């Protein structure tokens, strides 16, 4: 998979941590961070502002890095989905100015 080395999580507002995250068999995030979606699937819970509850708000990075679900582990920094979610974020931020 092609990734853009110019894109770094350290230079990002953790945009991808607002995306829905399904928790799969074999994942083991702390139970108090779990929720169920409308179809009854296990997901990472979200705070009222839309970010995953496991996000470390001071560092703006995953607060359960070693236990993060498969979906998060597969989300490549600088990959196509990452670039797309960053573009969406930028568009929304500009529209709010």
What residue ranges bind ligand SF4 (CB under 6 A)?
7, 9, 12, 14-17, 21, 44, 52, 54-55, 62, 64, 68-69, 72, 75, 77, 82, 85-86
Assess contact for 89 and 95: CB atoms under 8 A: no
Residue 63 CB, nearest approach to ligand SF4 (Å): 6
Phi, psi of 17 (to 5 degrees): -85, 10
What span, in angstroms and rounded, lies between the C-alpha atoms of 24 and 9?
24
If the CB atoms of residues 11 and 39 are measured against ligand SF4, the closer one turns out to be: 11
- Beta strand 34-36 pairing with 61-62: unpaired
Least Å distance between CB 29 and ligand SF4?
6
Q: Between residues 52 and 97, which has the closer beta carbon with respect to ligand SF4?
A: 52
């Amino acid at each position: 998979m092609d990734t853009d080395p110019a894109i770094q999580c350290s230079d990002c507002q953790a945009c991808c941590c607002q995306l829905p995250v399904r928790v799969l068999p074999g994942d083991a995030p702390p139970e108090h961070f779990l929720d169920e979606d409308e179809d009854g699937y296990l997901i990472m819970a979200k705070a009222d502002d839309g970010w995953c509850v496991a996000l470390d708000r001071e560092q703006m990075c995953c607060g359960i890095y070693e236990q993060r679900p498969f979906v998060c582990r597969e989300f490549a920094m600088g990959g196509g989905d990452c670039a797309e979610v960053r573009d969406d974020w930028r568009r929304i931020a500009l529209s709010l100015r």
